[in-house]
Structure 1
Amino acid sequence: MAVPPRKALTGLVAATFTPMTAKGDVNLSVIGPYVDYLVLKQGIHNIFVNGTTGEGMSLSVDERKALAEEWCRQGKGKVDHVIVHVGCLSLRESQELARHAAGIGADGIAVISPSFFKPPSTGALLQFLQEVASAAPHVPFYYYHLPDVTGVKICAQAVLQGAQELIPSFQGLKFSSRDLLDFGQCVHSSPRSWQMLYGVDEQLLSALVLGAHGAVGSTYNYMGSVVNGMLAAFEKGDVAQARKIQGLTWL
């Protein structure tokens, strides 16, 4: 049975950094002010925790749990979505983090492909994603597509086609690749209720033209207010202004 869609995950999503102390410990005390900064200064109302920007794959399971808990606690009532990345090289650890995210009230979970022993086929990748999703069956699930880092060159469109049947909680995609053809095909062939989020900040305008519903990225931590201006210009049909902002921001 499919998970009923919650509030749509659209607009900008800040892929948050993980604050650390000088000794290399996770610094949870910074997260409350960090949330306020994103909301009040950058106009960001969605966050993506323990992803690439947050160095989640380099943290222990306990550190990732502590961070997810604090982001959910500090974000409650202030942000619309806290999406927790739970992907690991280990299926069991991914499932453990998925269950934990469900227990702390995360608004969604995301999973990247394993990248050491790589899935050799679309079916193998889908089986991994399905088994992680099954650990938190009532939490919206997003596939995190990052082929340049994982080395898994399976087209995202093929994953999405299989996910529709295998993962009832599937709600969308974080597409972090420069392959705009693949992204456009994902948008075109997916259910309208799914959220297609683009993850290469400097190509965002191109992805918007192809139908992206929003974007997840590191630069939105400190340039969110500027990029929100680009989104507003694009929505009004002022492509010239959107191009100007794109150029001033990244080119």
Structure 2
Amino acid sequence: MATVNLDAFKGIIVAMYACYDQNGDIHQEGVKQLVRHYINKGVKGLYVGGSSGEGMLQTTEERKLVLEAVMEVAGDLTIIAHVGAPSTRESVELAQHAESVGAHAISAVPSIYYRLSPNSVESHWQAMIDSTALPFIIYHIPQTTGFHLSKSLLTKMAAQDKVIGVKISSESTYELQQFKEAGGDHFLVLNGPDEQYLAGRSIGADGGIGGTYGVMPELFLKIEACYRNGQMDEARAWQYKVNEIINELLSYPSLYGACKAILRHQGVDCGEARLPLLPVERKDDDRISVLAGKIQQYVNQACESTVEA
């Protein structure tokens, strides 16, 4: 494997949403429109096919269609392809496809449904790692997979040159710090919980990958800029605004349905979330409109303060 530029994976990486047409099929043109939307927002990269991308609700072929569309228009974006699937065979197939279309890294959760031993999870990930020359980023999200990555297994995996980092979506910043310590200075730790982006950065995260970034990337970019400039009070104020938005998004039956409804107000139609993820109900259209307006108000404030600075 060639030397990896770790800086390409630091900063704000949007966990990209799935895009469907009116029949609920993958809409490649919609995917391309969404990618261009994020390019215009100035984010560092995209995480494709993860939780926000509804990868576990799509077939292997559908996931390939999404990534192919992304890569056609990605330009200078860093693209991380989530290739985790229930079976190791599917995961390896997706990993090799990601390499073939030019993704910059692959990432995966443990296999879902079955409660697996650490040895099983290690074997599952190792098969993906060995199947390509791409760098690999562990995805640790125990609240959905049921598997809790131990510090000892992380340390063992991180000893491999291809394993360049971990996306940590557990809610403990202590665990994030421990993973950073275990991996060392040249091992990426990427914050998962959007509501604690600043906390994660403060304790050692190199950046973040998040789903709600997708409806307000400017606000996460603002937090990051303030953090880098040492403006911690301002960074906290923007994190509080972000958390206000997240709290409202979480009041809907499905976070992803709500985020897609917000995106429609922003001029990008990704279709509805795939069932069993629920869409926003018609009775909540007015409430979504108000929330979209609040996000735009905060975005305007963030842009104005950037100009003043």
> TM over 0.5, yes or no?
yes
Aligned to 2:20: 20
Give the CA deviation at 1:32: 2.2
Contact 2:135–2:163 (Cα < 8 Å) also in 1? yes
Cα distance in structure 2, aligned partners of 1:248 and 1:19: 27
**Aligned with 1:140 (options 132, 135, 142):** 135
**Aligned with 1:129 (options 125, 129, 133):** 125
> Which residue type is aligned with residue 150 of structure 1?
T
> Which residue type is aligned with residue 148 of structure 1?
Q
Aligned to 1:249: 242
Mapping for residues 210-229 of structure 1, pairs under 5 Å: 210-229=203-222
- Greater shift, 188-197 or 100-109, is seen at 188-197
**Aligned with 1:84 (options 81, 84, 90):** 81
> Which residue type is aligned with residue 170 of structure 2?
S
* SS at structure 2 position matched to 1:134: helix
Aligned to 1:66: 65
Contact 2:140–2:149 (Cα < 8 Å) also in 1? no
RCO higher in 1 or 2 (8 Å CA, sep ≥ 6)?
A: 1
Cα distance in structure 1, aligned partners of 2:49 and 2:152: 25
Runs of 4+ in 1 over 6 A off after TM superposition: none
Aligned to 1:177: 170
Residue 144 of structure 2 is aligned to residue 152 of structure 1: no
Aligned to 1:34: 34
Q: RMSD of the alignment, in Å?
A: 1.4
Gaps of 5+ in 2: 245-309
Gaps of 5+ in 1: none
* SS at structure 1 position matched to 2:62: helix
- Computing the radius of gyration from Cα coordinates, the structure with the larger value is 2
Cα distance in structure 2, aligned partners of 1:173 and 1:132: 15
Give the CA deviation at 1:193: 2.1
Q: TM-score, normalised by structure 1?
A: 0.92
Number of residue-to-residue matches in the alignment = 243
Q: Deviations over 1:168-220 (max 9, x none)?
A: 31111111110211111111221322211011000111101111111000111
**Aligned with 1:106 (options 81, 103, 111):** 103
Cα distance in structure 1, aligned partners of 2:152 and 2:2: 21
Q: Deviations over 1:213-248 (max 9, x none)?
A: 110001111211111111111111111101100111
Contact 2:13–2:46 (Cα < 8 Å) also in 1? yes
> Which residue type is aligned with residue 23 of structure 2?
K
Change beyond 3 A, Cα 1:189–1:3:
farther
Q: TM-score, normalised by structure 2?
A: 0.76
Cα distance in structure 1, aligned partners of 2:227 and 2:26: 38
